[in-house]
Structure 1
Amino acid sequence: MATKSANDALVRLFDDLVRCETRLYNAIGESLRQEHGIATSQYEFLRYFRDHPGSRIADVAANFAAGIGAISKGVDRLEARGWVARHPNPADGRSSLVSLTSAGAVLVADADSTFRDRLAELMTADLAAADVEATGRVLASLRSALERDRVGLPVG
């Protein structure tokens, strides 16, 4: 039985995706840390809770393809700083729902401007709007297929 193997173009695409993501994540993280005292991961969690109020930890873990334990610890840190609050889940006593506090809402609103400005600065100097849209469609399609097939979820 023949097996598929990645050609050189796929290997380069993988390398470029990973290295671009890392560099963008780090550069945006530096700006968020300097301007707001938060890490990129904290901003992403806050933005998620802004856009999905009353989410379960499992929902967040599924969105970020991360382990429930790691997400729970991240939420613990946000809660300790007063940016989110956990509430009992009326549909399931074993889980809680997480929502932004007013302080978290103010922080994510302020940080959102920094995030968007820095992202535009990093990406639009070298990419035309049409390239951003085309790349976005391709990556959204790939992400959708990976999520549909439950590829890359943490083990355990």
Structure 2
Amino acid sequence: MELAGLFSELVRLETELWNAADARLRADFDLPLSWFEPMQVIARVPSCRVFDIATELSITVGGTSKLVDRLVAAGHCARVANPDDRRSSVIELTPTGRRLLAKASTALEDELQSLIGAAVATSALQRFESTLLALRRAVAQAGGRSQV
């Protein structure tokens, strides 16, 4: 097996899926996928900080902070004082952000079902997910950025 070819296919698939999902969220909700992803983290992680978002998404803290600033400016989330650490803030979705995320999550699931779920059996997707997680762990252990 040529691993460079597999790598190229994974990169192309990620790009194609990202573009399709981004187009759907922008068309339906004027919400870029790059905003949707951190909103999911904020909704899922209790007392979410910029660091938590950066870690979950494998992106830089500086870039994440700027992204959160844009989400705050759009009214989708708010920075509130962290009761456990005065040096940092906690990021919370606003009521508007929660409603938008709920609607966008449904649309994204629908889009992914048509792109992925309809093309490959559930059992194969479950094996693929396990394989991807194992690969991300291996990359993390080798010194890559993955935090799985």
What is the TM-score with the length of structure 2 in the denominator? 0.92
Give the match's secondary structure for 1:55: coil
- Among 66, 69, 80, the alignment partner of 1:73 is 66
1:14 is displaced (CA, Å) by 0.6
1:39 and 2:32 correspond: yes
Query: Paired residue for 1:88?
Result: 81
Contact 2:38–2:57, Cα closer than 8 Å, also in 1: no
Query: Paired residue for 1:17?
Result: 10
- Among 130, 133, 153, the alignment partner of 2:126 is 133
Question: Which structure 2 segments of 5+ residues have no match?
Answer: none
1:150 is displaced (CA, Å) by 4.6
Counterparts of 2:55 and 2:44 in 1: how far apart (Å)?
A: 15
What is the TM-score with the length of structure 1 in the denominator? 0.87
Query: Paired residue for 1:108?
Result: 101
Judged with a 3 Å threshold, the aligned counterparts in structure 2 of structure 1 residues 115 and 10 are, in CA distance, closer, same or farther, namely: same
Judged with a 3 Å threshold, the aligned counterparts in structure 2 of structure 1 residues 40 and 62 are, in CA distance, closer, same or farther, namely: same
Identify which of structures 1 and 2 has the higher relative contact order when contacts are C-alpha pairs closer than 8 Å and 6+ apart. Answer: 1
Question: Which structure 1 segments of 5+ residues have no match?
Answer: 1-7
Larger Rg: 1
Counterparts of 1:60 and 1:21 in 2: how far apart (Å)?
A: 20
Contact 1:53–1:100, Cα closer than 8 Å, also in 2: no
- Match of 1:39, as an amino acid? P
The one-character-per-residue Cα deviations of 1:43-84 (angstroms, maximum 9, x if unpaired) are: 111111111132111111111111111101110111011111
Contact 1:42–1:78, Cα closer than 8 Å, also in 2: yes
Give the match's secondary structure for 2:2: helix
The one-character-per-residue Cα deviations of 1:104-145 (angstroms, maximum 9, x if unpaired) are: 100000000110000010012321212111111100111233
- Match of 1:18, as an amino acid? V
Give the match's secondary structure for 1:122: helix
- Match of 2:111, as an amino acid? R
1:118 and 2:111 correspond: yes
Q: CA RMSD in A?
A: 1.5
Give the percent of matched residue pairs that are identical in Structure 1 and Structure 2: 35
Aligned residue pair count: 146
